[in-house]
Chains A and B, each alone.
Chain A
Amino acid sequence: MKARVAIRLTVAVYLLVLVGLPVGFLLIHTWAGGASAVWRSISSPDAVHAVMLTLETAAVVVPLNTLVGIGASLLIARRRGPWVRVLDVLVDIPVAVSPVIIGVSLVLAYSRIGWFGTALANWGLRVIFSPVGIVLASLAVTLPYVVRSTVPLLREVGTDQEWAARTLGAGPWRILWRVTLPSVKWGVTYGAVLAFLRTLGEFGAVLIVSGNVTGSTQTLPIYIFDSWDQNFDFLGSFAGALELALIAVVVMVILSALQRRERKLHAHSAL
């Protein structure tokens, strides 16, 4: 009994120090000047632009990486061969290296000093210091999430259900849609949510490729950093941070509600 109390106490203190106190102070400081000041701050054109750019980026990045992630997961879990192992390792690189490195590499590849930058510019496509670069950087850093949450599930589910469907006459697409994907949908969803949250919060890679142009290529995390570090607009930084945290919390709550509903539907089935 004593051990259990000690464990609970440790966990509580840990959470308080790491999460509770910082978020608490964030709330207190944000609201110190009153609700109207907060509203004025988050409704300023630069703040609104930053939120919109962040959400638009996520709207492109999450669906795209979910599709690519499903494809890569199927290759990694269902195919064999040396190139599959290479793919397996490559997918992890974005989480293995610092996002700053990803940002720098993207600049090297796609700015005018890089191989493709000039060619792309001649086509009228500006990658670096533009939303296109932000999307590319976000795609790169969020590539692993769907793959890492889906591959273990695919392996655990195995191929028996797919073979059963095939002997019953189903073709590859029908097997994918009606058997494989439904059995790993929570892995895919979880990965997509993590990718969404990472896109919202990504700082390093995006900072380098975006060029940090206020009202143009500033995502929400960069807006927060800029308010804090350059403009000494602490309220702007606090309010932005709170907004970012709020979006994340809402998404997590929706996910957990969906999972609870599913669990009720399939009483005591493994999810």
Chain B
Amino acid sequence: MPIQLSNLSKNYGQGAVVADVNLEIPSGELTALLGPSGSGKTTVLKMIGGIEKPTTGRIVIEGRDVTDVDARYRDIGYCFQAYAPFRHMSVAKNVGFGLSVRGTAKKEIRQRVGELLELVRLSDKANRYPAQLSGGERQRMALARALAIEPQVLLLDEPFGALDAVVRSELRSWLKELHQRLHVTTILVTHDQEEAMDLAETLVVMHQGRIEQVGRPLEVYDQPVNSFVQSFLGPTTLFDGVTIRPHDLVVSPSGPDVVTNIDDLGFEIRIAVTRASGEQTWVQLSRPEFLDTKIASGDAVSVSRR
């Protein structure tokens, strides 16, 4: 049985932050709630976790209606955006907190904490304090702490939001691997479409408190239901009046169109073109493709679909 959200809404004052959300989240999968800030995705996560009370609607986790169940008894692992480490406890004590609350024997806690620290590769930091860890280490500690209670659902709020680019991509592939190993039902909130595309098995695109589209990442990417979803999942441009992905266009030397600008971003090259019809469009090429075309700003070219 999956997680079911039915007619879920949250109002603060007059404004609805989440409006009538209906969603079924499959068990054992990693689902991403993707949307810009203010789209209500974090509020949905907090309602599932029991941190926010829904104004209306029901939440059912694995067949159990938890709408009125305190966060304490929901059996969820929640990772906060800023990790919320217990600052005055060592890494080992942080990870073991949930177990000691449950009255688990000391010896067993020590063993479980040892296993979890190994899982998140923090065995050598067991006696450190959170202030002595890097951002990525703190994130992994928070994950181990949430996993310690063997939750039915793992909820991650912007797990990589506060990390620099290198640590971010490292941690991302690590999390992917971890999920493939554990298969805990996981819901991840993010505003980063690339992160969501990479990690999620199911993608839920949110906008202004509503769900715009639900589906497999590639399905959503290739068949967006509206222009919001299309533009949020990746860059778009106009070609013959139709909205299209700029990587679906190619440029070839000589023709009626004119290159007006070239942005070189390293691997990715963006070529702005004014077409004979006056239409402004742009083409996204990889570096090898771009080097093959040998075009420069001001050149006459022709743009076509791949």
Contacts and interface: CB of A to CB of B under 8 A. Distances in A.
**Do chains A and B stick together as partners?**
yes
Interface of A: 160-161, 163-171, 174, 178-179, 182-183, 185, 266-270
Nearest to A262: B88
Nearest to B81: A160
B98 A168 contact: yes
B239 interface: no
A168 B129 contact: no
9 A-B pairs with the lowest CB-CB distances in the bound complex, closest first: A269-B131, A160-B84, A168-B98, A164-B84, A182-B88, A167-B78, A169-B101, A166-B71, A160-B80
A160 B132 CA distance: 19
A171 B73 CA distance: 10
B131 A163 contact: no
Interface in B61-103: 70-74, 76-78, 80, 82, 84-89, 97-98, 101-102
A171 B76 CA distance: 15
Given A183-B87, A266-B129, A163 B51 contact: yes
A167 B88 contact: no
25 contacts: A160-B82, A161-B87, A163-B51, A163-B71, A163-B78, A163-B80, A165-B97, A166-B71, A167-B49, A167-B146, A169-B72, A169-B98, A169-B102, A171-B72, A182-B86, A182-B88, A182-B89, A183-B88, A185-B88, A266-B131, A267-B131, A269-B87, A269-B130, A269-B131, A269-B132
Contacts of A179: 86
Contact of A270 (B70, B77, B78, B131): B131
B149 interface: yes
Nearest to B149: A168
B52 to A, nearest CB: 10
A267 B130 CA distance: 11
A174 B98 CA distance: 11
Nearest to A162: B84
Contacts of A174: 101
Interface of B: 49-51, 70-74, 76-78, 80, 82, 84-89, 97-98, 101-102, 129-132, 142, 145-146, 148-149
Contacts of A161: 84-87
Given A161-B84, A174-B101, A166 B72 contact: yes
B189 to A, nearest CB: 15
Contacts of B49: 167
Contacts of B149: 168-169
A168 B84 contact: no
Contacts of A183: 86-88
B97 A267 contact: no
Contact of A167 (B76, B82, B87, B130): B76
A165 B82 contact: no
A173 to B, nearest CB: 11
B86 A167 contact: no
Contacts of A266: 88, 129, 131
Nearest to A172: B72
Q: Which of A160, A168, A269 is the most central at the interface, judged by chain B CB atoms within 10 Å of its CB?
A: A168
A182 B129 CA distance: 14
B87 to A, nearest CB: 6
Given A164-B78, A182-B88, A268 B101 contact: no
B144 to A, nearest CB: 12
A102 B89 CA distance: 42
Nearest to A164: B84
Contacts of B71: 163, 166-167
Contact of A165 (B86, B102, B132, B142): B86
Contacts of B87: 161, 183, 269-270
B13 to A, nearest CB: 13
Contacts of B145: 164, 168
